[in-house]
Amino acid sequence: MNIKKSITLAVMTALSTIPWQSTANDVWQQSISYTAGSEVCFASTLYKARWWANPGEEPGSSQWGAWVAKADSTVCDNTVSPPVEPPVDPVDPPVEPIDPPVEPIDPPIQPPAEPPVTPPSGDPYETGVTKNPAGGYFINPALVANTELEKTSSPLFSKVKNTIRKLDNASVESVTPLRAANPRNVKRLEAILDQASFEFLFAQRAPEYTYRKFLQAVAKFPAFCDDYDSEQQAEAVCRKALATMFAHFTQETGGHDPHSAIPQWRQGLYFIREAGCSETSAGCGYNNSCGPSTWQGQTWPCGTDEQGLYLKYFGRGAKQLSYNYNYGPFSDAMFGDVNVLLNNPELVADTWLNLASAVFFFVYPQPPKPDMMSVVDGSWVPNEADIARGISPGFGATINIINGGIECGHGYDKPQALNRIAYYEQFAAYLNVPIDNNEVLNCSNQDSFTNDGSGALNIHWSEDWSWKQYRPDGKSFECKLVPYQTPYFALSEGAYKRCVEEKFNATVE
């Protein structure tokens, strides 16, 4: 919320904009700005700033943010805990960040300049890649499609693609309560939670949150309340997923009014827009990453109003989606076009997208974190690296996924985490979800997920610098999966083709 505080807070905010160039193993501090390349320790993990990091932008809070975990999963000495409560947004919009580098932080060395001999067949180049007489290259579409398929066919990648599969929007729009033609996962949900129960559980919800919109949000993602080996298992997983999701709804968007006659666990979905923010109010821009000279601004171009000012990307919906680098990927997942929600961000508040944004976050992974659906259904199994960091299956792991940087790994339970646990227990009781005595509900002794964990998956493309001796100029004409963020999101259709065309000055045809 953008609430004016005292003169003291204003002074502190002003001082916090002084950039800091850290050295390795400096502990991250919420009041400091960091320049690109700074390295800090946070939750026992070493992070590096890809570009300017504003005060309060904590490492690990978003895969689209300024901070990226070091690829070698370096464990560092973290001696300063982050604040108990997340920092309050400053009155004015954040300072425009320094343009981040377009290329990876540490790009590999270019391959040798001289290619080896031509293939024994006598053909000058391998079939599928030819030089364009007008400049650049032509690449056979079949070669591109087959290469992408090969690079995304690992068991984990295949599982993720299945978990994030989506129903077309026309079918989603047709969903209504008790409709005979509703998708199977929606019918399963309806059998567990009817409209009266939904309205009882969210007694103080904003009017934009309706039962029908929730059914539509679930319909969009068939993996939520999906089929399993038996109907009994499918129902049990669906009930547990609902209890888990509703607990996080309530912490993120609840009224949190201890004086209300409605208990706090039933005060969820109170906020549809971030408190104090509206499309026409002052402040609440969240558009400091819109600059067209930045790769974020180019990848997720911000819309403008009639005065030519950037639109506002403050928190909206059950997930309180914010910033263009979150609206863009969500828009791409919903419409196959990043511009729909970047040009119309209010749709995340006013349509079924207000709940679909939360389901989207529930089924999509945020590497190195697994997706929450896989934690709930038990398909995510911690490996030795996860176990060594105290991460185990249970509700506590979902807290770690959603807000681990603030709420986990401090040796004691933070108030926010305690709220989530209490809400989960209440929703579980209402939905007849048994909680095993061995289920770890908290995350006080869990460190952050790391790149050697079982849920870690590279989901961005970047240029493959490897040497291909039988292709023009020895170039690979391929992109590879990398553990850092790039403009090419591997879970987005067409991203691999764009990467190949843009990195190699090529046309796929």
Just list the catalytic residues.
252
* Terminal-residue alpha carbon distance, the chain: 49
Coil, helix or strand for 508?
strand
| C-alpha to C-alpha distance for 329 and 331, rounded to whole angstroms | 5
| Pair 35, 22: CB distance under 8 Å | no
Q: Which residues contact 376 (CB under 8 A, 6 or more apart)?
A: 237, 240, 241, 244, 398
CA 18, chain centre distance (Å): 29
Angle 95-98-99 (CA atoms, 0-180°, nearest 5)?
130
| C-alpha to C-alpha distance for 4 and 461, rounded to whole angstroms | 42
Tokens at residue 160, please? Answer: 């993720």
Q: To which residue do tokens 């001999």 refer?
A: 117
**What angle do helix axes 141-151 and 495-503 make, rounded to 10 degrees?**
120
| C-alpha to C-alpha distance for 57 and 52, rounded to whole angstroms | 10
| C-alpha to C-alpha distance for 405 and 400, rounded to whole angstroms | 7
Long-range contacts of 140-146 (CB under 8 A, 24+ apart): 140/508, 141/508, 141/509, 144/496, 144/497, 144/500, 144/508
